[in-house]
Amino acid sequence: MKAHEHVILEIARERERQIEGEGWTPEHDDEHVDGELAMAAATYAIHAAKGGAHQPGSRPLIWPWDVAWWKPKDPRRDLIRAAALIVAEIERLDRSKADAR
């Protein structure tokens, strides 16, 4: 397996964890029509870029949800989470576009 394939698999596993483990189903994601999924992804990506400088318990300004849902880890893990949230937003946009037809 190539390195990028391993990372893509990790992102897919994280997306499944979000759905199965957290209960963030596609139907739930469809309720986030104001860019919340993308903003959450951006928050985790920024956190990773800054080397994990933002601590749990204090809500970043662009974090779209309650501080209880802000659970940063290490930079690599946060990037995987960000990528999975981007996938969730892309899937939501695709479903929205299909529903509009």
Q: pLDDT tens digit string along 32-60?
A: 988 999 999 999 999 999 877 656 567 78
d(CA 70, CA 39): 12
CB 92 within 8 A of CB 85: no
pLDDT bin (cut points 50, 70, 90) of residue 5 is very high
State pTM to two decimals. Answer: 0.88
d(CA 65, CA 35): 12
d(CA 2, CA 22): 29
For residue 53, the model assigns a pLDDT of 65
* Percentage of the residues of the chain whose pLDDT score is greater than 90: 59
DSSP character at residue 7? H
Phi, psi dihedrals of residue 18, rounded to the nearest 5°: -60, -40
For residue 51, the model assigns a pLDDT of 79
